[in-house]
């Protein structure tokens, strides 16, 4: 029978109803029952039954196009993710979706289909554009669907929980572990332990409104090198109440801590490594005073003083906080309530280290540069216009000599307000000591070098072994004490005071990059790009993440130590 005989069994490719699709499949089945062998002559190519039927791929009952997430009724507290919930009525919500391992048949097996999925997700192509492209290509490729949602296997339902000022969606930690360990069935983990660090952070989505995201991210320290999402909130302010925001996350984590994670007859113990956040998020999660309060320090009971419109914290060696004293709330002024995190039975001092990205790079380093340019709080440290221009020209001259491993090239001080955290880090660790030499006052220069040397040691395991923590602690204490003399009393804000405590965190967790937010900030930037419009941002993120996970499984990357063996020649002034 000729190829045209098969084509007459179906309508021209277009968006047709589910009933019509069933009729088409029935027609094809009837055709093959009558013809045991069907061959389509196209040169020497033989088309198999599966390739013919692939043209008419039907979504399952869980993938119909009638109940897409845009029609979710957000007035209800939760929306079931799929029909599996009826089977697991007595199972906690986080286990219903998390324990479900994707059916291998859901992943596009055809290389061409899979490559198209990877192209669409990696370049963040909109569904409208992708559907238009598919309708152009489908007449020439029999295995292509006509709709982007069919190609990408977009999910139809999600657990959406209504909070006071927005919505929360829980992706699940167990789901990530399942997907990860499927690809590497027998991972080599010391003592069969999975060490996980967590990050809480908020970020605005659009400049035109106050819509923001608050994410719960995770990172397995002894297994992978990429963070993953556990839950996310979308609303007009930080999630309220805090208990509702953390409820699913804490319930799942308690279950895993008590029972472990089991897959392929192997049980792995779950261990909380640390929680890393910026100062506002850390205060909110712990339910303590924020960085502008009188008893705001996370590590000691130092009482602040109000000086010229701000609270400053002098280095007076106050009593250090401990996990026990925090649990007993001995310093009543520091606490605003009991955090839901307390259910995890962890140390609120040792498990919440100071993040150097926000504290040192975006905090102290930026404050130093601003004081040199604006002359605030002390006019005697202000640099003249010629010196600022000279420093800017030096920074720009290094553009061609900065290796590609650096995310951003140096910019002039005229763009200081737009500098990112990585640019402040580059200035502090690499170029600052060069561009400031012989251009600023010797006291200002040596004061900067104290911070430069301290951080340069703390970011390197080799340097820590060579110089030791006590030496770095002394350098930072000198930097803080000299800050009052050089920059004035108003300079001693929360971030500067925290320098006295960050060495203790390094003694527990090692180099600064072991517990910094740089890793998570990169992921949050990618997360923000998934939102195309202000309408239903949470649903947009949920769909895009599930689509990406289907075609880009979690990659396990072995950590390697980079060694610089060749001298890098840079022009010095």
Q: How many helices (H) and strands (E) does the chain have?
A: 23, 9
Instruction: State residue 23's pLDDT score.
Output: 67
- Tens-level pLDDT at each residue, the chain (573 residues): 444 444 444 444 445 565 666 666 666 555 555 554 333 334 433 333 343 333 333 333 333 333 333 333 333 344 443 333 332 333 343 443 333 334 444 445 566 677 888 888 888 888 888 888 888 888 888 888 888 888 888 888 877 899 999 999 999 999 888 888 776 666 778 788 999 999 999 999 988 888 999 999 999 988 776 899 999 999 999 999 999 999 999 999 999 999 999 887 888 999 999 999 999 999 999 999 999 999 999 999 999 999 988 999 988 788 999 999 999 999 999 999 999 999 999 999 999 999 999 999 999 999 999 999 988 877 778 899 999 999 999 999 998 888 888 889 999 999 999 999 999 999 999 999 999 999 999 999 999 999 999 999 999 999 999 999 999 999 999 999 999 899 989 999 999 999 999 999 999 999 999 999 999 998 898 888 888 888 889 988 988 888 887 776 555 555 555 666 666 555 544
CB 198 within 8 A of CB 192: no
Q: What is the DSSP letter of 106?
A: G
Shared domain check, 378 and 506: yes
Shared domain check, 421 and 330: no
Phi (first) and psi of residue 392, to 5 degrees: -65, -40
Shared domain check, 436 and 331: no
Shared domain check, 289 and 375: no
C-alpha span between 198 and 221 (Å, rounded): 10
Shared domain check, 293 and 384: no
CA-CA-CA-CA torsion sign (74, 78, 84, 89): negative
Asked whether residue 318 is assigned to any structural domain, the reply reads yes
CB 545 within 8 A of CB 229: yes
| Helix 502-509 × helix 469-487 angle, to 10° | 160
Shared domain check, 315 and 364: no
Secondary structure (DSSP) of 215-239: EEEEEETTT-SS-EEEEEEEESSS-
**Domains held by the chain: number:** 3
Secondary structure (DSSP) of 354-373: PPHIIIIIIIIIHHHHHHHH
Helical segments of 102-162, H only: 111-122, 127-137, 148-152
Domain that holds residue 457: 356-515
CB 20 within 8 A of CB 33: no
Asked whether residue 446 is assigned to any structural domain, the reply reads yes
Asked whether residue 471 is assigned to any structural domain, the reply reads yes
CB 280 within 8 A of CB 290: yes
Domain boundary among 515, 533, 555: 515
C-alpha span between 506 and 537 (Å, rounded): 38
Instruction: State residue 559's pLDDT score.
Output: 53
Shared domain check, 384 and 328: no
Structure-token pair, residue 192: 């069969």
Asked whether residue 386 is assigned to any structural domain, the reply reads yes
Asked whether residue 391 is assigned to any structural domain, the reply reads yes
Asked whether residue 208 is assigned to any structural domain, the reply reads no
CA distances 181 to 125, 245, 554, Å, are: 29, 28, 9
Instruction: State residue 98's pLDDT score.
Output: 34
C-alpha span between 156 and 161 (Å, rounded): 16
Shared domain check, 433 and 327: no
CA-CA-CA-CA torsion sign (347, 350, 356, 360): positive
Shared domain check, 315 and 410: no
Instruction: State residue 24's pLDDT score.
Output: 67
Instruction: State residue 54's pLDDT score.
Output: 37
**Residues with Cβ within 8 Å of residue 257, at least 6 apart in sequence:** 270, 272, 344
Shared domain check, 302 and 430: no
Shared domain check, 470 and 376: yes
Shared domain check, 506 and 360: yes
Asked whether residue 191 is assigned to any structural domain, the reply reads no
Asked whether residue 240 is assigned to any structural domain, the reply reads no
Predicted structure pTM score: 0.77
């Amino acid at each position: 029978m000729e190829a045209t005989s098969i084509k007459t069994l179906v309508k021209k490719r277009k968006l047709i109803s589910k009933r019509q699709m069933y009729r088409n499949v029935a027609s094809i089945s009837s055709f093959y029952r009558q013809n045991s062998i069907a061959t389509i002559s196209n040169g020497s190519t033989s088309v198999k039954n599966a390739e013919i039927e692939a043209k008419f791929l039907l979504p399952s009952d869980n993938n119909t196009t009638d109940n897409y997430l845009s029609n979710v009724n957000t007035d209800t507290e939760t929306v079931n993710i799929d029909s599996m919930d009826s089977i697991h009525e007595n199972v906690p919500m986080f286990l219903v979706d998390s324990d479900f391992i994707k059916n291998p048949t859901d992943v596009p097996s055809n290389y061409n289909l899979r490559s198209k999925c990877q192209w669409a997700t990696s370049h963040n192509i909109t569904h409208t554009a992708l559907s238009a492209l598919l309708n152009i290509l489908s007449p020439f490729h029999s295995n292509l669907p006509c709709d982007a949602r069919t190609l990408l296997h977009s999910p139809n339902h999600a657990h959406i929980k209504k909070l006071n000022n927005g919505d929360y969606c829980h992706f699940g930690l167990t789901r990530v572990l399942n997907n990860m360990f499927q690809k590497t069935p027998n991972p080599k983990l010391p003592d069969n332990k999975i060490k996980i660090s967590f990050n809480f952070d908020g970020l605005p989505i659009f400049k035109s409104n106050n819509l923001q995201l608050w994410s719960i991210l995770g990172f397995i320290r002894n297994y992978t090198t990429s963070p993953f999402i556990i839950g996310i909130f979308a609303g007009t302010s930080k999630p309220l109440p805090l208990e509702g925001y953390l409820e699913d996350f804490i319930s799942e984590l308690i279950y895993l801590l008590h029972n472990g994670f089991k897959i392929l007859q192997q049980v792995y113990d779950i261990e909380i490594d640390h929680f890393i956040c910026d100062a506002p998020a850390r205060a909110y999660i712990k339910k303590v005073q924020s960085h502008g309060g009188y008893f705001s320090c996370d590590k000691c009971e130092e009482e602040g003083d109000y000086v010229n419109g701000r609270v400053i914290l002098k280095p007076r060696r106050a009593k250090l906080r401990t996990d026990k004293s925090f649990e007993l709330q001995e310093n009543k002024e520091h606490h605003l309530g009991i955090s839901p995190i307390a259910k995890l039975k962890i140390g609120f001092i040792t498990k919440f280290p100071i993040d150097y990205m926000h504290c040192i790079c975006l905090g102290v380093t930026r404050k130093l540069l601003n004081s040199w340019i604006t002359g605030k709080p002390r006019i005697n440290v202000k640099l003249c216009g010629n010196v600022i221009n000279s420093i800017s020209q030096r920074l720009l001259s290094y553009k061609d000599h900065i290796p590609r491993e650096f995310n951003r090239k140096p910019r002039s001080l005229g763009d200081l307000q737009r500098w990112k955290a990585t640019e402040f880090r580059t200035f502090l660790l690499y170029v600052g000591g060069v561009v400031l030499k012989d251009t600023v006052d010797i006291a200002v220069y040596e004061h900067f070098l104290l911070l430069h040397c301290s951080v340069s040691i703390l970011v390197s395991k080799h340097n820590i072994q060579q110089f030791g923590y006590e030496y770095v602690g002394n350098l930072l204490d000198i930097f803080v004490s000299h800050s009052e003399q050089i920059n004035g009393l108003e300079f001693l804000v929360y971030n500067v005071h925290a320098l006295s405590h960050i060495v203790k965190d390094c003694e527990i967790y090692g180099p600064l990059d072991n517990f910094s937010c740089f890793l998570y900030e990169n992921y949050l930037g990618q997360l923000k790009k998934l939102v195309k419009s202000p309408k239903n941002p949470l649903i947009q993120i949920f769909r895009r993440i599930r689509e990406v996970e289907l075609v880009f499984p979690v990659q396990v990357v072995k950590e390697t130590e980079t060694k610089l063996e060749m001298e890098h020649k840079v022009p010095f002034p």
